[in-house]
Amino acid sequence: MINFSTSSNKYRLDFHGKEILLSFCELLGFRNRINAIDINTHFYGDHSGIEILPLCNLKEVLILETTDVLELKKIIDTIFTPQESETLC
């Protein structure tokens, strides 16, 4: 299970029981890396269905299965999409 939360200018990623803290800049880099993953290659062609993703701080490496990639794309999209109460009229 993957959870994401914020506290005191840090973004906490709980990735299958491993807690990873990211600054905002690291979160932006993480978003770019996740969005760069072409999910179609996981289903078509010669792809193992595994992504190895070193984080910006180079202290952590995530090994992502297809389901992890899909879930992280959804979480990242939710984080960076303005909520209805935050939009201007």
Q: What would the pLDDT profile of 44-86 be if each residue is shown by its tens digit?
A: 767 778 889 988 667 888 899 889 999 999 999 988 887 766 5
Nearest to 34 by CA among 64, 78, 1: 64
CB atoms within 10 A of CB 46: 5
pTM of the model: 0.78
Nearest to 40 by CA among 78, 66, 6: 66
Query: Can you tell me the distance from the alpha carbon of 40 to that of 52, in angstroms, rounded to the nearest whole number?
Result: 16
Q: What are the domain boundaries of the chain?
A: 2-83
